[in-house]
Structure 1
Amino acid sequence: MYNRTSATLMLQTIMVLMEKQNLTDVTNFPGTFYEDAEIERCYDKFGCFSKAYPWTEHRPDNNFPAPPESLGVRYAVFTRRNRKLPVLLKTDDTEKIQNANIDPKGPFYFISHGFLEGGHKIWIQNMADALLNLEGNDAASVIVVDWRRGSQPPYGQAVANIRLVGVMTAHLIYNIYNNLRLRNLENFHFIGHSLGAHLAGYCGHALQKEFNLKLGRITGLDPAAPYFSNTVTLVRLDRSDAHYVDIIHSNAMPLYYSGFGISEPIGHVDFYPNGGSTQPGCKDDGGYRSVGDSDMYMQVVKFVGCNHERSYEYFTESIAPNCPFIAIQCKSYESFLAGNCSTCDNKHLCIPMGYHSLNVYRRLQMGELVDTNSNIALFALTGGNKPYCRVHYEVTLKVSNSSESRIHGPDVGRVSLTLLDRNNNKSDHKFLNTEQ
């Protein structure tokens, strides 16, 4: 492990290296863009954006969004009829909406990437395929929000850009709703990773404010922490942005400890797999301290990215109902590990992490076991490689305390456990003490 000082230097270095690594990809915005004289800037039908409070809190720099034409946002529509060649939409392209093979019966999924990414990423393709392959999803449409030109460094500018992209996406959703003559947006599910999670929140907020419509669900996959942690709800994703907001935290640590994900609970349901900070299989060997800039960049990005990205790996795996990814409500991760929350009851609710959480939450809601105005924090364990889903077992080990054992003195050793099923398949080798 590294100490707090070296971690801080490492994070500063990675941000500088990200700037260098993507220098040729940065969109050239107008020079007036960074002038501080303006407090508010307007973008025609997409409305006006302020740089005053609360957009100044916990933010070392504060920018206006880039103009819509500079962002080049594209919306790629995938259905079972067009998996490989999507129909590309713009926010107000009425004719294309009507000819994009979008089935009004739905469901409708929106997926957004985060910082430094684009809609072409393989994880988005995998998630879209899993959603379209799900049994009963014959009428599903997956719409990928590709804002790659706006996701490039500097980070503060990308943070500003998602405010406008969120509003633009709200306009597209309204046009789909209007053109397909839908009754509501209950069937709309917005899935966002990192900055994309807060983009989903801005979209949900704009739909309510401008069109009096509310998204059915938003899933935040390790929502970004820098510029969002400890801010007011207007600035970040929160549970008011949709009827149901679920969060998977996979890299929830302070920035100086290589944490990019937000740690505070912000949804109706917040899942903290493996405690929500670091994930099994994501190793930090400390080797980045003695290598060159380029190698260091790749090693640090690989370590930090592994934890941050694991949230969408978990969610994609959860779509196919092969393993339930059961998570348990508990006061803390330490209490969960101590076995204090091993039984599903009214004090320790059990909800599957990921795609299928909504169905269980609705049942709990009907039974008046949850309060939609409060948060539920749940914990789960996963494996370090695919498939990640694991089943929880409580093992009680009774140790002899007889007079004979006291005479012989204590034994020193380690106790481990391996489970064997009926087909002789073995589980992971698990040590019952903390030192492995």
Structure 2
Amino acid sequence: MRAPLLFLLVATAYVAGTPVPEEPTEYHYPRFYKMAGGDGEMHDIDLEAEPDHELLDEVTRNPANNQYFLYTRRNSIISQTLVINNANSILNSNFNANNPTIIIAHGWLSNRNTEPNPTVRRDDIRCAVPYHTKRNITRYALPPTNLEVPAVGRGVGQFLRFLNQVTGARFDNMHLVGFSLGAHLVGNAGRELGGQVARVTGLDPAGPMWSINVNRLRPTDGRYVEAIHTDGGYTVGGLGIGSAIANVDFFPNGGISQPGCLTNMCNHNRAWELFAATVTYNHLVGQQQCSTNLQITWNTCRGSRLNMGNDDLRKTGSGMYRLDTGRLYPY
């Protein structure tokens, strides 16, 4: 039933064991910064760039600008487009409300054909991939992302409500998965639905300008919210958030430096690579629950066990977990 998954093996620039500050409350990034895009490149960004107010107004008032692409076992290669407020686009598609509904939200400068969409997609589930039609958040800065990501996320939530009204698809049978900025996007989608969705999974939620942002992923965005941290952002250079922000937070290999990686981009991408592997094998286990960030860093946690990732919609848990992985798939 589960097809083999293909991976982009990319690459770590931190020394495992670097101390992690206890419960950081704020991360400081320079104005001019490098951020990983879905095109596989590092881009120079201005975190204080002036927003495109016209576009932000359009995004905020018109959630129909999002597009959704459905993949099922019957159409695993060529997608079908679902349109909010167009019941026929759903009723005439292969969407089956009896099966789990999976939303995959990509990161900055990405689209439905860039990772993690092709890899995480499986032929026995339905994946709707949202993105804005005019511009894919090309200015990574606080004003634009602080407004656009939540707006697009709310649009996703409104689409899921429409899906429920048209087909009866239950919120407790939905799993929202987002990578980088997409993690905060799906958090806002779940928030739009009052936290009713079964599960929200954030894959290395984006760090720059988001670590203390009120619109970031929250533990109340779903019935169970999980975050996988692979490029912790407590120092300049980290692309993800390095502290716990969900019901359950996993810190593979300490959450900063990943085996076989030489760059932040590789560390960042490892989150979706690990998640995709667990969807197939469900084999990566947080062996020990941790009570502090220093325990995570020094690998001295002692506590309960919990499987990281997977596609279990009835999953429950709380706390922080450390686990160690290999450098090659399936890790």
* Coarse TM-score class (shorter-chain normalised): 0.7 to 0.9
CA contact (8 A) 1:226 1:255 kept: no
* Residue ranges of structure 1 left out of the alignment (5+ in a row): 3-7, 21-27, 35-40, 44-64, 284-302, 343-347, 363-369, 389-436
Is residue 254 of structure 1 aligned with residue 209 of structure 2? no
CA contact (8 A) 2:301 2:322 kept: no
Higher fraction of strand:
2
Higher fraction of helix:
1
Is residue 354 of structure 1 aligned with residue 309 of structure 2? yes
1:32-63 CA distances to partner (integer Å, 9 max, x unpaired)? 679xxxxxx6x6xxxxxxxxxxxxxxxxxxxx
Q: Do the aligned partners of residues 357 and 281 (structure 1) sit closer, same or farther apart at CA in structure 2, a change above 3 Å counting?
A: farther
3-state SS of 1:83 partner:
strand
1:392-416 CA distances to partner (integer Å, 9 max, x unpaired)? xxxxxxxxxxxxxxxxxxxxxxxxx
Query: How far apart are the structure 2 equivalents of 1:316 and 1:336?
Result: 23
Q: Do the aligned partners of residues 339 and 207 (structure 1) sit closer, same or farther apart at CA in structure 2, a change above 3 Å counting?
A: closer
Matches within 5 A, 1:151-230: 151-156=137-142, 157-182=144-169, 184-208=170-194, 214-230=196-212
Q: Do the aligned partners of residues 304 and 339 (structure 1) sit closer, same or farther apart at CA in structure 2, a change above 3 Å counting?
A: closer
Q: Do the aligned partners of residues 333 and 385 (structure 1) sit closer, same or farther apart at CA in structure 2, a change above 3 Å counting?
A: farther
1:256-285 CA distances to partner (integer Å, 9 max, x unpaired)? 1x11111221111100001111211111xx
Per the TM alignment, residue 158 of structure 1 is displaced from its structure 2 partner at its CA by 3.5
Which residue of structure 1 aligns with residue 289 of structure 2?
Answer: 329
Matches within 5 A, 1:234-383: 235-256=215-236, 258-283=237-262, 303-321=263-281, 323-332=283-292, 335=295, 340-341=300-301, 348-355=303-310, 361-362=315-316, 375-383=318-326
Per the TM alignment, residue 226 of structure 1 is displaced from its structure 2 partner at its CA by 1.9
> Of the candidates 131, 139, 152, which is equivalent to residue 146 of structure 1?
131
Per the TM alignment, residue 322 of structure 1 is displaced from its structure 2 partner at its CA by 6.2
Query: How far apart are the structure 2 equivalents of 1:336 and 1:120?
Result: 35
CA contact (8 A) 2:286 2:321 kept: no
1:226-262 CA distances to partner (integer Å, 9 max, x unpaired)? 2221244xx2111111000011001112251x11111
Per the TM alignment, residue 333 of structure 1 is displaced from its structure 2 partner at its CA by 6.2
Q: Which amino acid aligns with 1:18?
A: H
CA contact (8 A) 2:247 2:319 kept: yes
Q: What RMSD, in angstroms, separates the aligned Cα atoms of the two structures?
A: 3.1
Query: How far apart are the structure 1 equivalents of 2:234 and 2:282?
Result: 34
Q: Which amino acid aligns with 1:310?
A: R
Query: How far apart are the structure 2 equivalents of 1:15 and 1:217?
Result: 28
Higher relative contact order (CA 8 A, sep 6+): 2
Q: Do the aligned partners of residues 264 and 87 (structure 1) sit closer, same or farther apart at CA in structure 2, a change above 3 Å counting?
A: same
3-state SS of 1:111 partner:
strand
Q: Which amino acid aligns with 2:216?
A: R
Q: Do the aligned partners of residues 382 and 150 (structure 1) sit closer, same or farther apart at CA in structure 2, a change above 3 Å counting?
A: same
3-state SS of 2:281 partner:
coil
CA contact (8 A) 2:285 2:308 kept: yes
Q: Which amino acid aligns with 1:167?
A: R
Which residue of structure 1 aligns with residue 330 of structure 2?
Answer: 387
Q: Which amino acid aligns with 1:12?
A: F
Per the TM alignment, residue 181 of structure 1 is displaced from its structure 2 partner at its CA by 2.3
Give the TM-score taking structure 1 as reference length: 0.61
CA contact (8 A) 1:119 1:147 kept: no
Query: How far apart are the structure 2 equivalents of 1:104 and 1:354?
Result: 23
3-state SS of 2:94 partner:
coil
Count of matched residue pairs = 294
Per the TM alignment, residue 29 of structure 1 is displaced from its structure 2 partner at its CA by 4.8
Query: How far apart are the structure 2 equivalents of 1:199 and 1:336?
Result: 27
Q: Which amino acid aligns with 1:224?
A: A
